[in-house]
Amino acid sequence: MLRLSFLLVASAFTFSSQAQAIEEYTPTGLSQAEEVEDAFTELEYKLVEASGLLSLSQQIKDSAQSLIAEAIEGSQENPDVVGINHAQHFAIAKQLAKRWAEEPLQQRLLALVKAMPVETQMQIEKQLSHPLLVSAQEKERAAIKVQGSNAYSLYMKKLKQRPPAALRWALVESVDKQSGFSQIIIQARSVVIKEIKQQVKGWQPAVSWESEVRQDVLQFLFYAYRKTPNNELKNIADSFNQPELKQFYNSVIASIK
C-alpha cells in the first residue's frame, strides 16, 4: 500500500515542458549493484521491493519537476518572484540523482534492512504480505488509475461540499498517521526544497506546502477507501502499529535527509 500512496501525489502533478531536464538526466559510471551484488540476501531484496519504498526515487523526481515548473510559471507572471534557469534546473537534477536515483536509493534501503535481525526481516515481509494490506494496495492502485478523471474530480468537489462524519474522518487520518504516508512524502519533498534552495538563492516554496501535501494524501485516501467499511479501515490503520513494521518505516523517515 505504501508504494501506491507515494505515487498519488506524483500522478496528480502537471508539469511544464521546461521541466524535462530531470527526466533526461541519467547518472553514469559503474553500477553499484554490480559491485555489491552478493552483499544482500534474497529476503532483503524481497522486503525492499515489497515495502514500495523504491518509488521514493520517482517521488523525488516528480516533486522537483513540480516545484521547478511552479517557479518558472511564477517568475513569468511576477518579475519579483525568483525563477529557476536551465543551468540551475540541470544542477538540481544532477545533485538529486546522485543520491535519489533508484539504484543508490535501493542500496541505502538494503543496507537499512540488512542491519535488522533476520527474524525481524521475515516478520516485516510477512506483515506486508497480509491479505488486508494486499487488498488495500489493490484499492489504491485502482484509485491511481482514475486520478485526473472527471469522476475523481467530482468526488473531490463532493468531499469539500459534504465533509465525512467525524468518525470516518478520524479513521482516514489514522491510516495516514499510523502508516506515515504523508510524513514520508513531506520528508521527500523537503529534500527537493533543500536542494533547490542551495542552487537558487532567494527561492522559497509556498508557505503552505506541507499542509497541501497532507491534504492531497487525505483526499486520495478518502477516494481509495470510499467503499471500505469503518471496521476494515480501522484494521488497516492498526496493521501499521505492529512493532516491526512501525519501526521499519520510522527508520526510513529518519533516513530521508
d(CA 105, CA 56): 8
pLDDT at res. 7: 42
Taking a C-beta distance cutoff of 8 angstroms, is the pair 100, 56 a contact?
yes
**Non-local CB neighbours of 128 within 8 Å, separated by 6+ positions:** 47, 50, 51, 245
pLDDT computed for residue 73 by the predictor: 84
pLDDT of residue 13: 35
Close Cβ partners of 172 (under 8 Å, ≥ 6 residues apart): 164, 218, 221, 222, 225, 233
Compute the Cα dihedral for 116, 49, 213, 63 and give only its sign: positive
Separation of alpha carbons 66 and 236, rounded Å: 31
Please give the DSSP secondary-structure letter assigned to residue 153: H
Task: Please state the pTM of the whole predicted model.
Answer: 0.77
Distance between terminal CA atoms of the chain?
A: 23
Give pLDDT, residue 179: 87
CA distance 191 to 193: 6
Q: What is the pLDDT of residue 102?
A: 92
- In which residue ranges of the chain is pLDDT below 50? 1-22, 24-30, 32-33
